[in-house]
């Protein structure tokens, strides 16, 4: 493009810009509500919390995006909890977690984010994650690199499990059999001499830390498509791998993931894990 020539407008520019703007507006609402009294309800278990701010922010995001893109489809956490169908079609689809880290938000623990992913023909085109308590905006567009604010992100190159910092999340399924498998998986990785295993209470922020090279791997059984969508683009554009726990390609709806800076690390993690059955987002 010659200097001063017309800006090249590529497809989905307008959607990406709208995602950035509404994620920042949502972050302001969450930051304001962070220190205020909260009305907390539970969903699938006593550990699966939701507040009026989750619902308010989800409504704010979707109504703004629907005004600009009325033909688009939406998948979001709280609408799904209220019975909406969770189906990724070939239509342009927004995949939204209004507050990732709601339990942290309720307790005043600052790992809290807004996650907005966007897919067309079931392929993820971009992701925006706003770490609203630290004013960090993680973002990536397919084929154009990953950034945190203005800093380019590069995932870890580590291939040795005994030198790895591994992130995971506990999720909200807390029956004894699930907890036994969950702790056994952590134990296997620690017995393999991993430097550490960390749980920070926000799957999407943990995945962004991986994209930034601040950890070497992430795995989870039980998260949702709205936890994963945006961060998957950010990790891939940072040079990382996001795949199914079986070692196959990621299925956004399968509620399980292994991510790492390198394919070798991702494979070592997947091989160490015992599977935990958590259903699928697109199966009621």
Ligand X SMILES: O=P(O)(O)O[C@H]1[C@H](O)[C@@H](O)[C@@H](O)[C@@H](O)[C@@H]1O
Q: List the binding residues.
A: 77, 97, 99-100, 227
Q: Does 223 bind ligand X (CB under 6 A)?
A: yes
Site for ligand X in 59-78 (CB under 6 A): 77
Among 55, 58, 97, 113, binds Mg ion (CB under 5 A): 97
Cα Rg, the chain, nearest whole Å: 18
Of the candidate residues 30, 62, 77, 172, the single one contacting Mg ion (CB under 5 A): 77
Q: How far is the CB of 194 from Mg ion (least distance, A)?
A: 24
The SS3 assignment for 193 reads coil
Dihedrals phi, psi of 154, to nearest 5 degrees: -140, 120
Quick one: which of 101, 244, 175 has its CA closest to 183? 175
Among 78, 125, 169, 237, binds ligand X (CB under 6 A): 169
Place of tokens 């940072």: 238
Please identify which of the residues 30, 61, 99, 269 carries the catalytic annotation.
Answer: 99
135 is catalytic: no
Q: Smaller CB distance to ligand X: residue 141 or 255?
A: 255
Q: Which two three-digit tokens encode residue 231?
A: 């961060």
- Contact code string over 89-128 relative to ligand X, x by CB under 6 A: --------x-xxxx--------------------------
Residues 247, 6: Cα–Cα separation, whole Å = 45
Let me know if 97 is a catalytic residue: yes
Q: Which helix (H) or strand (E) holds 211?
A: helix 203-211
DSSP state of 228: H
Q: Does 227 bind Mg ion (CB under 5 A)?
A: yes
Of 125, 158, 216, 227, the catalytic one is 227
Using DSSP's 3-state secondary structure scheme, residue 86 falls into coil
Number of residues in the chain:
284
Token pair in block for residue 137: 């905006």
Site residues for ligand X per CB under 6 A: 77, 97, 99-102, 169, 171-172, 201-203, 222-224, 227
Q: Which residues are catalytic?
A: 77, 97, 99-100, 102, 227
């Amino acid at each position: 493009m010659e200097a001063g020539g017309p800006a090249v407008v590529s497809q989905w520019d307008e959607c990406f810009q709208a995602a950035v703007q509404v994620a920042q507006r949502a972050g302001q609402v969450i930051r304001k509500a962070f220190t205020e009294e909260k009305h907390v309800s539970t969903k699938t278990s006593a550990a699966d919390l939701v507040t009026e701010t989750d619902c308010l922010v989800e409504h704010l995001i979707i109504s703004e995006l629907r005004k600009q893109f009325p033909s688009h489809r939406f998948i979001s956490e709280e609408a799904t909890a209220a019975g909406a169908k969770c189906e990724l079609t070939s239509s342009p689809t927004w995949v939204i977690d209004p507050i990732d880290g709601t339990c942290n938000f309720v307790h005043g623990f600052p790992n809290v984010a807004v996650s907005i992913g966007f897919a067309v023909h079931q392929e993820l085109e971009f992701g925006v994650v706003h770490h609203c308590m630290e004013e960090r905006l993680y973002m990536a567009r397919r084929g154009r690199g990953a950034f945190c604010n203005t800093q380019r992100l590069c995932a870890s190159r580590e291939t040795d499990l005994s030198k790895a910092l591994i992130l995971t999340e506990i999720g909200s399924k807390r029956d004894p059999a699930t907890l036994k498998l969950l702790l056994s998986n952590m134990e296997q990785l620690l017995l393999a001499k991993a430097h550490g295993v960390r749980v920070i209470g926000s799957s999407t922020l943990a995945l962004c830390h991986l994209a930034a090279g601040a950890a070497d791997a992430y795995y989870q059984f039980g998260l949702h498509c709205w936890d994963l969508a945006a961060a998957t683009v950010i990790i891939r554009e940072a040079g990382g791998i996001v795949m199914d726990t079986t070692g196959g390609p990621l299925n956004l709806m399968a509620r399980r993931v292994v991510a790492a800076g390198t394919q070798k690390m991702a494979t070592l993690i997947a091989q160490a894990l015992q599977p935990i059955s958590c259903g699928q987002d697109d199966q009621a």
